[in-house]
Structure 1
Amino acid sequence: MTTDSMDELFVEGLQELYYAEQQLVDALETLADQTDDEAASQGFSEHRDETREQIERLEQVFEQIGEEAQTKQEQVIDALIDEHEQFAQENDGDVLDRYNMGVGQKTEHYEIAAYGNLTSLAQKTGHDDVADTLAETLREEQDALEEVTEASEQFDQEEVAG
């Protein structure tokens, strides 16, 4: 991948994130359906709905910068989804529930890094309004990470207690 400018890097990052968010809508649906733990399942469902709103927000960002909303394949997300599919075929019950929570944490960390990077690039390329929009989504992703982490810790405490 050859990129000639920060503007191009920013657009490519948006395209990758747009792809990732679209893939995560379906992945979150799967996680919600597969997870027996009620709190975690509900959290995945709520974040799926929030992710749909984030996709719309990204479409607005593309419009604001005068670019067509396009996706660019993001191998990290594809690998996380593939890894999850393989694990889920071979496991179930509490083990799958806990694994799903871990996958949720991994994807949130990815999204936090991606949105943080793009927020910074938006500022550096003079897109201050876009940076504010991306920062809003960044805060939502940080909140989602906190929620899935709390659900994981609660799940772990219940498992240890017996």
Structure 2
Amino acid sequence: MTTDSIEQLLVEGVQELYYTEQQLVDALDQLADQTGTESVSQAFSKHRGETQQQVDRLEQVFEALGEEPEAREDIVVTAMIDEHDQFAGENDGEVLDRYNMAVGQKTEHYEIAAYGNLASLAEKAGHDEAADLLVETLREEQEALEQLTDASEQFDTQQIAGD
């Protein structure tokens, strides 16, 4: 991938996040349905609604950048979804629940890194409105990670106590 400017790098990053969030809307439904731990299933469902709002917010970012919304495949996200699908096809129960929590945490870390980098880049490039929108989503992703981490820790504690 050849990118000619920082502006183009910013736009391509937003395009990849747009793809990511669109993919995660569907993936979060699947995770919520697959996960037998009620608190984690609810966290996935709640974050699905937030993720749809994040898709809408990214459309506002495109507008602030003077660009049309366009998704650009993020091969990392595609690989994570493919890996999850394969694992879920071969496993179930508590193992799948814990795996789903780990996948959720990995995804949140990835999104936090992407949003943080793009918010900083947008700010430095003078796109204050876009930067503010990206920071808003960054905060939501950080909160989602915290909630998922708490639920995972509770799950682990219950599983260890139950053994």
TM-score, scaled to structure 2:
0.98
Unaligned runs of 5+ in 2: none
Match runs of 1:85-124 below 5 Å = 85-124=85-124
Structure 1 stretches (4+) deviating beyond 4 angstroms?
A: none
Aligned counterpart, 1:9: 9
Cα shift at 1:48: 0.4
Could you list the per-position Cα deviations for residues 117-150 of structure 1 after superposition, in whole angstroms to 9, with x for gaps in the alignment?
1001101111012111110100000000000000
Alpha-carbon separation, structure 1, partners of 2:42 and 2:155: 14
Task: Name the count of aligned residue pairs.
Answer: 162
* Identity percentage of aligned residues: 69
Cα shift at 1:64: 1.3
Unaligned runs of 5+ in 1: none
Alpha-carbon separation, structure 2, partners of 1:2 and 1:90: 39
Q: SS where residue 69 of structure 2 aligns?
A: coil
Aligned partner of 1:24: which letter? L
Alpha-carbon separation, structure 2, partners of 1:12 and 1:130: 14
Alpha-carbon separation, structure 2, partners of 1:27 and 1:15: 18
Aligned counterpart, 2:72: 72
TM-score, scaled to structure 1:
0.99
Match runs of 1:118-137 below 5 Å = 118-137=118-137
Aligned counterpart, 1:60: 60
